[in-house]
Structure 1
Amino acid sequence: MKIEPEIRTVAGVVRGRRENDVVVFRGIRYAEPPAGARRFGAPVPVQRWDGIRDALKFGPPVPQATHTGSVMSSVSGSVGDGSEDCLTLNVWSPDLGAAGLPVMVWIQGGTYLENNSANPHCDGAGLARSGVVVVSMNYRVGVDGFARIAGAPDNRGILDQIAALRWVQDNIAGFGGDPANVTVFGESAGGACIAALLVMPMAAGLFRRAISQSMPGTYFSERLATAISTTIAAQLGVQATVGDLARFPPRALTDATDAVILKMPEFVDFWGPMALTPTPFSPVADGEVLPRAPWQALADGAARDIDLLIGHTRDEYRLYTSRPGGEPTDARMTAAFDHLTPSTDGSGLYRTAYPDATPGQRFEVLNSDWLFRMPSLHLADAAHAGGGPVWLWELAWSFNSEQGASHALDFLLIFGTLSPDEVRAHRSAHPNAANEITHVSRHMRADWVSFATAGKPGWAPYDPHTRTTRVYNAEPTTQPYPEETSRRIWSAHQFDTLDLLHSE
């Protein structure tokens, strides 16, 4: 008879499963369900239980547009299918008996609108086989996680992440991990949450290293976040307060959010450049939970004791322009160059810098720069200025000509969950891409694991003079930062909290 592994956590015993050479625990509750009176509150520590709880399947996703559980239609959150019990995490361990393996805690992206740790592309088994304990979690998104609501704490989704990190500190030793050697890593919205965690007092001491992948540079002022939440609540005919919004089930809030997303460009003269992004949510610099946006805080020395690995893909915005209907219209291009560039003549600036590019290609480069690439580069500069150790990377390899080295490709390579067969089947795959992907994936994963283990990814630290960068192509190289043209355009710009431009 096969005996499955059991681990005693602070709250109770969980039973996992051996899957080949990795032990997996799925759906461990790290906080009480955010339902009823707890719905818009800070996460509440999980209550102790007696007996043994199976941890064999992923917990239900947090409320989001793609969620079909009955909690989506329930105001109280008390439902029969258990779908309100969504604040769960998962652990992959290569050796439960190990003495202090490095721990890597994954914070998934999803435009602050989606988050589901059951995503098969975020399976931690491949990373765990490299000698680390891997943790992933569900955290609240959308209105429930990131809207500014009167009577509720800001940044509830990040507070969930902090609760999960506290769980790691209290329990990961039992899974073979070292609580003193925790690395947080995340992509897109997850990467921006990590940049926020670096400067949040509540997160101090919960991790030793951080990897931020393709972080969007959008952090909201209280005024801007309030204006956005007020507009979403107005779709329902109410105010953005706990009392008013608690009367509606999560599906009503996701529907109201979707309605606002469709007309966000109409608000650009009031909400500023964030109105041209795919999401109405971002972390809120409220002066308390998140004291301020991360760039100046890091430059002033916050998190100087945290090792930081940061970077982006080469063709970040291609993910969006390559989608059906993603080709920019003349109106979209005009709005982008009017509102996103660091110059009053944004169109002329990019036309001069990229003379051989088409207008659509310049639109793509601009959005890549403003939303992902330059915020990441400037965060590296800020961390160096503050005295912290920082390393920079760029993913330049791609497997198809349509998407290039697009947003989100990096984490597929790190986890190793994009197979050669999937690459080979793509209609515009490069001839040798199916053979190259295993090689590129192995290089990136080894560097991430080396960084998580000892803070040494394998190349020289970043400094603003040499701008040493690890560039991942079919063969990785170490060279000066490759996006020098865009760097010069943005060299005098100061990324900071985005504020409301005008009252509506």
Structure 2
Amino acid sequence: MASAAQQPEATTQAGVVRGRWRDGSAAFLGIPFAEPPINELRFQAPVPHRPWSGVRDAVEYGPTPQRKTLAEVTLIPEPSIEGESTLNVNVFTPAPGPADDGGLPVLVWIHGGGYVAGSPASPWYDGAAFNRDGVVTVSISYRLGFDGFGWIEDAPANRGMLDWLLALEWVRDNIAAFGGDPARVTISGQSAGGGAVLTLLGSPRAQGLFSRVLSLSGPPTQVAMEASEELGRKLAALAGVAPTVAGLSALSEAEILALQGQLSSVGGSDPTADPLAGLSTMLNEGLTLGPVVDGALIPLSTAEALAAGIGADKELILGTTDNEFNMVLAGAGDALAAVPPAAVLGGLGATPGVIEAYVAAHPGLDTAALVGQFVTDHMFRAPALDLAEIRAAAQAPTWLYRFAWASPAVGGAGHCLDVPFMFDCLGSERIAALAGPQPPQALADEVHASAASFIATGNPGWPQWDDAGQAVRVYDLPTTVVADGYADARALIPERAAQH
């Protein structure tokens, strides 16, 4: 083992940190970018971490905001780590120390988990493969659930987003000390993390903090402030306290988690609930504990912001897996066999015109399979297509992809499947449960290389989406580029369907 003197060090604005060497790169873990969000700071905007003297060890992941995972076994291994100083960054770099040539491109990763769970300490988010290709990689934490996004009468809205912004400011101010170029920052994330980077793309305040965006399965932000306030008041009423900082500060973390589990559209706690009723809530209300259109930090919904030209100077890749949430009705085929698809889709809020067009676009599927695909398309695929078309109208550089490779373990291209391919970490833990015992390394080579090329150059290696070519990269065996690869989801954006 190398001695402390032989381990890599970097000098941040708050003080010196000491990481550890691995094969070909260095890891600096658990560097606090903000003061612990506890006591009087619990429901406030994050405060930059105070300076320290001497050398601070950064060899272990720091405490995480996550206290409870969404399920006993999650698709991505994302550990919870106890402790109070939960706002941290992890930096993986092939060349710590200031660079003579301006530094390496930087990837900043925001984890998913429905904005109520998730952890930056996943082994899947280790930046080793990106370091091998000359990309400094940073993963960040942020406050989750009600602490991060719940409405409180006298507290700032979108506290979790304020955490993202402060973490990105930390990257701007400190990444050069780790060999990175603060002028070449790509923000990326998957699921809620993919939604987070789309939210940042549409936020005026965030524009100077990154130059490119790579969104995997990102749900656009559209929750209204009124809906957020209604949930916040309900939670406070359930607890018997005022919906204020003073009232809610009397509740422990465990009490808040239990209450938000009763109210959130993600991570609910009632195993006996009607799955179709739960689907209807999720589809029509969205991620209720997440970024909120507050008129200030997030002035517009994601679609409205991109249509207004916010972020149009930034390169964007976005896309989804083909079967994100098809598993929501797994095992319900027999129970729904005699139920017409139109009846179920109508119960989920689809209009007759949309139902007719959608059923026609998906021949041969039984009711459970069609409704599962509808959930995927409604939440992920149709919004990705919509945002690509909005960006094309603004002549903003945009690339669209599909991850279509069907895993033998889950029987399709499900949610989270593309993450270990992007990070080129098929040898990591719990991969087989999601991708099978022999996931194709050749596909990981392609997905990862496209991401690395985009981060470094702004070009992932296939044509941009535009109204003429409508090119979509389809990651499968073999990988192809097709025209209008999301055509089967267009029925779910009817206001645009008439244009095609």
User: TM-score, normalization: structure 1?
Assistant: 0.87
Residue identity matched to 1:94? P
Inter-CA distance 224–335: structure 2 relative to 1 (3 Å threshold): farther
Residue identity matched to 1:22? S
User: Counterpart of 1:211 in 2: which secondary structure?
Assistant: strand
The residue number in structure 2 matching 1:62 is: 65
The residue number in structure 2 matching 1:368 is: 376
Q: Is the 8 A contact 2:423 2:448 kept in 1?
A: yes
The residue number in structure 2 matching 1:238 is: 241
Inter-CA distance 326–306: structure 2 relative to 1 (3 Å threshold): farther
**TM-fit CA distance, 1:460:** 0.9
Q: Is the 8 A contact 1:64 1:141 kept in 2?
A: no
- The answer to whether 1:381 aligns with 2:356 is no
User: Counterpart of 1:90 in 2: which secondary structure?
Assistant: strand
Give 1:303's match in structure 2, choosing from 301, 311, 317. Answer: 311
Inter-CA distance 336–200: structure 2 relative to 1 (3 Å threshold): farther
Aligned residues: 474
The residue number in structure 2 matching 1:187 is: 190
The residue number in structure 1 matching 2:84 is: 84
Deviates more, 1:230-239 or 1:334-343: 334-343
Take 1:442 and 1:421, find their aligned partners in 2: how far apart are those partners?
Answer: 18
**TM-fit CA distance, 1:422:** 6.0
User: Counterpart of 1:315 in 2: which secondary structure?
Assistant: coil
Q: Is the 8 A contact 2:340 2:367 kept in 1?
A: no
User: Counterpart of 1:7 in 2: which secondary structure?
Assistant: strand
- The answer to whether 1:96 aligns with 2:90 is no
**TM-fit CA distance, 1:127:** 1.8
- The answer to whether 1:471 aligns with 2:479 is no
Alpha-carbon RMSD across the aligned residues, in angstroms, is: 3.0
The residue number in structure 1 matching 2:463 is: 460
The residue number in structure 2 matching 1:501 is: none
Take 1:262 and 1:328, find their aligned partners in 2: how far apart are those partners?
Answer: 26
The residue number in structure 2 matching 1:287 is: 295
User: TM-score, normalization: structure 2?
Assistant: 0.87
Q: Is the 8 A contact 1:350 1:362 kept in 2?
A: no
The residue number in structure 1 matching 2:15 is: 12
**TM-fit CA distance, 1:333:** 7.7
Give 1:405's match in structure 2, choosing from 396, 409, 413. Answer: 413
The residue number in structure 2 matching 1:498 is: none
Q: Percent identity among equivalent residues?
A: 36
Residue identity matched to 1:360? A
The residue number in structure 1 matching 2:74 is: none
- The answer to whether 1:107 aligns with 2:115 is no
- What do residues 284-336 of structure 1 show as CA deviations (whole Å, max 9, x unaligned)? 001001001111211221111111111111111135444xx787965998886
The residue number in structure 1 matching 2:232 is: 229
User: Counterpart of 1:492 in 2: which secondary structure?
Assistant: helix
- What do residues 102-149 of structure 1 show as CA deviations (whole Å, max 9, x unaligned)? 000001100111121111222221222121000001111100011111
Deviates more, 1:485-494 or 1:467-476: 485-494
Give 1:487's match in structure 2, choosing from 483, 487, 490. Answer: 490
Take 1:16 and 1:177, find their aligned partners in 2: how far apart are those partners?
Answer: 16
Inter-CA distance 492–136: structure 2 relative to 1 (3 Å threshold): same
Residue identity matched to 1:110? G
Deviates more, 1:44-53 or 1:351-360: 351-360
User: Counterpart of 1:165 in 2: which secondary structure?
Assistant: helix
Q: Is the 8 A contact 1:276 1:336 kept in 2?
A: no
- What do residues 161-190 of structure 1 show as CA deviations (whole Å, max 9, x unaligned)? 111100000000110100000000011101
- The answer to whether 1:353 aligns with 2:356 is no
Give 1:132's match in structure 2, choosing from 113, 131, 135. Answer: 135
Deviates more, 1:354-363 or 1:255-264: 255-264
Residue identity matched to 1:480? A
Take 1:140 and 1:426, find their aligned partners in 2: how far apart are those partners?
Answer: 28
Take 1:376 and 1:407, find their aligned partners in 2: how far apart are those partners?
Answer: 15
Take 1:38 and 1:422, find their aligned partners in 2: how far apart are those partners?
Answer: 36
Take 2:340 and 2:84, find their aligned partners in 1: how far apart are those partners?
Answer: 39
User: Counterpart of 1:413 in 2: which secondary structure?
Assistant: helix
Residue identity matched to 2:184? N
Give 1:337's match in structure 2, choosing from 328, 337, 345. Answer: 345
- What do residues 252-306 of structure 1 show as CA deviations (whole Å, max 9, x unaligned)? 111111123346989x99x985466785323100100100111121122111111
Take 2:224 and 2:483, find their aligned partners in 1: how far apart are those partners?
Answer: 34
**TM-fit CA distance, 1:385:** 1.8
Q: Is the 8 A contact 2:66 2:119 kept in 1?
A: no
Q: Is the 8 A contact 1:338 1:346 kept in 2?
A: no
Take 2:430 and 2:298, find their aligned partners in 1: how far apart are those partners?
Answer: 40
The residue number in structure 2 matching 1:40 is: 43
User: Counterpart of 1:471 in 2: which secondary structure?
Assistant: strand
Higher relative contact order (CA 8 A, sep 6+): 1
**TM-fit CA distance, 1:343:** 2.2
